[in-house]
Amino acid sequence: MNSGILLIDKPIGYSSNQVLQKVKKKLSLKKVGHFGTLDPFADGLLILGIGKGTKLSNIFLNEDKAYVAEIFLGEEKDTDDLEGDTTFKSSQAVSYENVISVLKDFEGQIEQVPPTYSALKHNGKPLYDYAREGNPITKPARKVIIHELKLIEFKFPKLKLEITCSKGTYVRALARDLGRKLGIGGHLQALRRLKQGSFDISDSKSIDSLCEENIISIEDCTNIFDEIFISDKEYADLKNYGKTRSELRKSGYFRGYNNNNFVGILSYSKDHLVKEILV
């Protein structure tokens, strides 16, 4: 079985796991995982790890992401998106100038309270389970980074934003907080993921058009990492012990080569090269 990643353009109406199962069945794959979910109402870039490529999730989950988000102003929902029940409504309108002014408050490092309907755990149980049982749990605010927040279109009560943000950012919470800052409430109405790290929606495939040749190898999908060449002894150590002593003294991930053959992804820690993935 090939190992690597697949870039999928997830359609609206499917959970990330449903897409995963469809791809798994279509290509007769045994081991598949995703690198960050999208809600069923959202679409766009969904990265799937295949075979040993599933181990790349620890690396790619930490990458920045880019989205186009449509926000509906004047109505807040308990889920912070269009699928929830309305908890607040306002008949007040806001101007373009109001929106531009408030957006500035959400750029850079901000604190964000995660939605009560989320997969975050409390005592080992997802928050959405508590919320559905009528006992919503509010988690403490977390620091996230909004690298770029660009207004694409505004026609009250709808506004469209392009957002580039750090790992852990909830765009639903951003929609909620933007509405509250404007004093009229708001919720996320549509979301499309455009980028995750160095991967772009333009390189993705629909489920219907997908074929095995679309699997990007571990070597190719990690070409942003520096190359490192290791000896036969170092390679043997990595296979037998998972690490080998090294004077590299450079943090980060590396594409490892032995006798000019790609052997896997390595990292450097405490005077050792450490095996992340050996192919």
Return the amino acid letter for 89: K
Q: What is the mean pLDDT of residues 179-201?
A: 97
* The pLDDT value given to residue 92: 96
Closest CA to 84 of 93, 94, 72, 92: 72
* The pLDDT value given to residue 120: 84
For residue 273, what are the β-bridge partners? 244, 268
Q: What is the mean pLDDT of residues 31-35?
A: 94
Give the length of the chain.
279
Q: What is the mean pLDDT of residues 156-173?
A: 96
Is residue 86 pLDDT above 80, yes or no?
yes
CA of 30: how far to CAs of 3, 33, 90, 161, 177, in Å? 11, 10, 50, 38, 41
Residue ranges of E strands in the chain: 4-10, 32-34, 43-50, 65-73, 75-77, 86-89, 108-112, 121-122, 125-126, 142-155, 158-165, 186-196, 199-200, 216-217, 226-229, 243-245, 253-258, 261-269, 272-278
Sign of the torsion angle spanned by Cα atoms 214, 217, 222, 224? negative
Is residue 129 pLDDT above 80, yes or no?
yes
Q: How confident is the model at residue 133 (pLDDT cuts 50, 70, 90)?
A: confident
Sign of the torsion angle spanned by Cα atoms 174, 106, 158, 63? negative
- Can you tell me the distance from the alpha carbon of 13 to that of 72, in angstroms, rounded to the nearest whole number? 19
Q: What is the mean pLDDT of residues 153-174?
A: 97
Query: In degrees rounded to 5, what are phi and psi of residue 257?
Result: -130, 140
For the chain, how many helices (H) and strands (E)? 7, 19
- Out of 119-128, 146-155, 248-257, least confident range: 119-128
Q: What is the mean pLDDT of residues 170-185?
A: 97
Beta-carbon contacts of 256 under 8 Å, excluding residues fewer than 6 positions away, are: 228, 229, 230, 235, 238, 262, 263, 264, 265, 266, 273
Task: Write down the mean pLDDT value for the chain.
Answer: 95
* The pLDDT value given to residue 105: 95
Is residue 121 pLDDT above 90, yes or no?
no
* The pLDDT value given to residue 217: 96
Closest CA to 99 of 190, 186, 172, 192: 186
Q: What are 40-70's pLDDT values in tens digits?
A: 999 999 999 999 999 999 889 889 999 999 9
Domains and CATH numbers, the chain: 4-61+200-216 (3.30.2350.10), 65-196 (3.30.2350.10), 225-278 (2.30.130.10)
Catalytic residues: 39
Angle made by CA atoms 171, 37, 133, in degrees to the nearest 5 = 80
Calculate what percentage of the chain has a pLDDT beyond 70.
100
* The pLDDT value given to residue 1: 56
Helix (H/G/I), strand (E/B), else coil: 2: coil
* The pLDDT value given to residue 58: 86
